[in-house]
Structure 1
Amino acid sequence: MSHDPAFDASIPVLTEVFAEPTAPGTPLAQPAPVVEAEALPPPAPVVAALEDAPEALERRAVDHWSGEQWSVMERRVTERILQQLQGRIDFVLEQRLRDGIADAVDKAMTSFSADIRNSLGDTLSDVVTRAVSQEIAHIRMLEK
């Protein structure tokens, strides 16, 4: 006789259904016959809840929730949305900062380059004018 050490006959298995005793000391009723789950139709409220779940939940909440429950729900939804959006907000903010800084640097470099070009052109013109004047003055001195 083989005996499974994990099986204890005194513990009912999941497929056994017992009726509640009517009085203390009354023995348990005999197990009900096992019926396959597929043979039983789902209870009507379950079917309605599955078909109409969002609307049913909303109606139940509107009819039965207190102001405190609504506040808790609002806080939870707000926190969840903020958490979901935080990564996107960070990305968009970083991108806008990069674009803004890039535009500002481009404008500053364009302005700075134009200022340097004008300043360098003026300086170069002054240097060439002085060099030509000095050379002409040197040639005149040699002629005399």
Structure 2
Amino acid sequence: MKNQIDASIPVLTEVIPPEEISATKENAVGAVSPETAAATIANGTAGRSEEDWQALEQTLRENVLRQVLARIDFVLEHRVRDSLADVLQIAVASLAVEIRTGLHKTLEEVVTRAITQEITKAKSSK
């Protein structure tokens, strides 16, 4: 029983008789809403004219485009943030190395100068 296909569910390879396609030509008014498109898909091929199919295709394209545009800002922001985080991490790491090197060099010069001054002071006081 599980392997039997329900005859009321259309399949992608189903051929639509021309009578069903031309039956809705008089019913076509305005653009197809997403609800109408979903109902058409849910009800199978309910006899649509070429213009109806084009309107349905246009509506589906607009809906997909609207959904993509709604998410594109989030995706771009996320990718830019990730890329910037990597770049900033590298920059901070190299900056920390430069600061550490400069601080080491400065401390060495200060300690050397202080020792030299103390030695000079000790020699002159004798």
TM-score between both structures, scaled by the size of structure 2: 0.57
* CA RMSD in angstroms, aligned pairs only: 2.4
Counterpart secondary structure, 2:125? helix
Of 66, 82, 86, the match for 1:83:
66
Match of 1:122 in 2: 105
One-letter identity of the residue aligned with 1:96 = R
Query: How many pairs were matched up?
Result: 88
- Residue 65 of structure 1 aligns with an amino acid whose one-letter code is E
Q: Percent identity?
A: 38
1:1-144 → structure 2 map (5 Å cutoff): 51-52=9-10, 53-54=43-44, 56-57=45-46, 60=47, 64-65=49-50, 72-143=55-126
Consecutive unaligned residues in structure 2, runs of 5 or more: 1-6, 11-42
Q: Larger relative CO (CA 8 A, sep 6+): 1 or 2? A: 2
Q: Where does structure 1 differ by over 6 angstroms across 4 or more consecutive aligned residues?
A: none
Deviation at 1:72, TM superposition (A): 4.4
Q: Gapped runs of 5+ residues in structure 1?
A: 1-47
* Bigger Rg, structure 1 or 2: 1
1:30 match? none
- Compute the TM-score of the two structures, normalised by the length of structure 1: 0.51
Q: CA deviation at 1:90?
A: 2.1
